[in-house]
Amino acid sequence: MPVVMAADQVARTVTRIAHEIVERSRTLDDLALVGIRTRGVPIARRLSAVLHDITGASVPTGVLDITLYRDDLMRHPVGPQPVLRKTEIEFSIDDRRILLVDDVLYTGRTIRAALDALIDFGRPRSIELVVLVDRGHRELPIKADYVGKNLPTSLRQSVRVRLEEVEGVDEVVLEDAPEG
């Protein structure tokens, strides 16, 4: 199992993305971060912390659970439902610039669901996408605005992002999984 990003690399990447965000923003006043459960949430929180360190601005951070918007929900013949957890966006997203944050960008279906979910909360001025890893193989016309690492993969492989807050360790691992 090759480790494609180790802990220090994950940290540097998050810092670099935060700098890119500052670089491309005239102001951070209208910015908000929304992390997609599960691992987009800690990444969004870390970005918010780094943004605070760099600029002193506190960027509001929300949590989005996309379960109720998934396009594969009712299609499995049998099997458990994905566990639903709370969405917590405690600020108005109207007229804000939203940075949607996720760990891995793959087919784009999660992001499609997240866009639908977000738009139910209001009308943001813009939505941009931040991902730690882009592994390719898009099935929808979606692209990321901020990418931590472009990682060429085959369909048989899977990308595991492990984070301190969830798994107790920061790393990105490329696995050869038999099932797609």
Residues in the site for other proteins, rule: CB under 8 A? 65, 68-69, 73-74, 76-88, 116-117, 120-122
Rounded to the nearest whole angstrom, what is the least distance from the CB of residue 76 to other proteins in the complex?
Answer: 6
Rounded to the nearest whole angstrom, what is the least distance from the CB of residue 80 to other proteins in the complex?
Answer: 3
- Kindly tell me which of 60 and 82 has the beta carbon lying closer to other proteins: 82
- Kindly tell me which of 68 and 155 has the beta carbon lying closer to other proteins: 68
CB 120 within 8 A of CB 87: no
Residue 109's Cβ-count burial label (10 Å; 0-12, 13-18, 19+) is middle
Rounded to the nearest whole angstrom, what is the least distance from the CB of residue 72 to other proteins in the complex?
Answer: 11
Backbone angles phi, psi at 160, to 5 degrees: -110, 120
- Kindly tell me which of 18 and 98 has the beta carbon lying closer to other proteins: 98
- DSSP letters spanning 7-25: HHHHHHHHHHHHHHHHHH-
